[in-house]
Structure 1
């Protein structure tokens, strides 16, 4: 796997594409001209920060309550919850690696998922609205989210974890391609 500008993972699809997380992906198109781009690593840092700012304080409060109300022996019940937190840390990493997108001549491909892989193909001519959003936490980490709305609600798609400049570039390009492709409708 290569690293493109801004440290974003990219890869070429020689036949059936392997996802960034490893292993073959049966949902990936067999095309030689597809260049996959991953999302920014800052998305992973942001999600792990949210995990650490929410779960450990809850665990601490529950441990203290169990200690005070029931006794110190019952605080052993917190061990599985700590294990779930550790599992969440690694699951977030795998989920981050699964997100990728590719621009083709007639459509945009968005792939995501670890256990349940999902490939969304959005034809440029079907796009009705392309918007870039960035909440306070995303702005803190220098991220934006590209949201695509189409005529069919089932094909609405989003790409989280983009650098704002890349999200704006994609928005402008997709809007331009959408207008050109839908002119004949």
Structure 2
């Protein structure tokens, strides 16, 4: 220990100590100045972030969907569930960003018009009901702004999907085969 202490007091020892400690000091100080990371942030996708509450809501929704199908919670693999939900949120965020870059947006007037046509928001008289709308928001624990944002994002993704599918070129042979398959019929005789 004395030899190490004597070495660190010498000029070569001090230089070596500075070379070893400077990266640690710089990386440690960086976390004070550049560490603006939200502790509730699960993932960062471009400029957008996926928050903990959004992630937990998506996991709970997906778990509920799966339990409606299988009725046995022991069949669910939680690790796979969490991984699939996170991947889905990241993919959706990437698609939303691409739709935004391409200028695929929907106005509030269009959203109002489309929401008024939804059957779930119509009252007994067949017209849009503010009570039904408010009840829907309460059940989902959402605000009107959140619903509009969600609806806007979904419509933008639908526009992106339609633009990709609408511009795809299919070979005539593949189209002919698809038409033939759809028109094909077979007779089946069963012997009992």
TM-score range, shorter chain: 0.3 to 0.5
Q: RCO (CA 8 Å, sep 6+): is it higher in 1 or 2?
A: 1
Q: Which has the larger radius of gyration?
A: 2
Q: TM-score, normalised by structure 1?
A: 0.33
Structure with a larger share of its residues in helix: 2
TM-score relative to the length of structure 2: 0.32
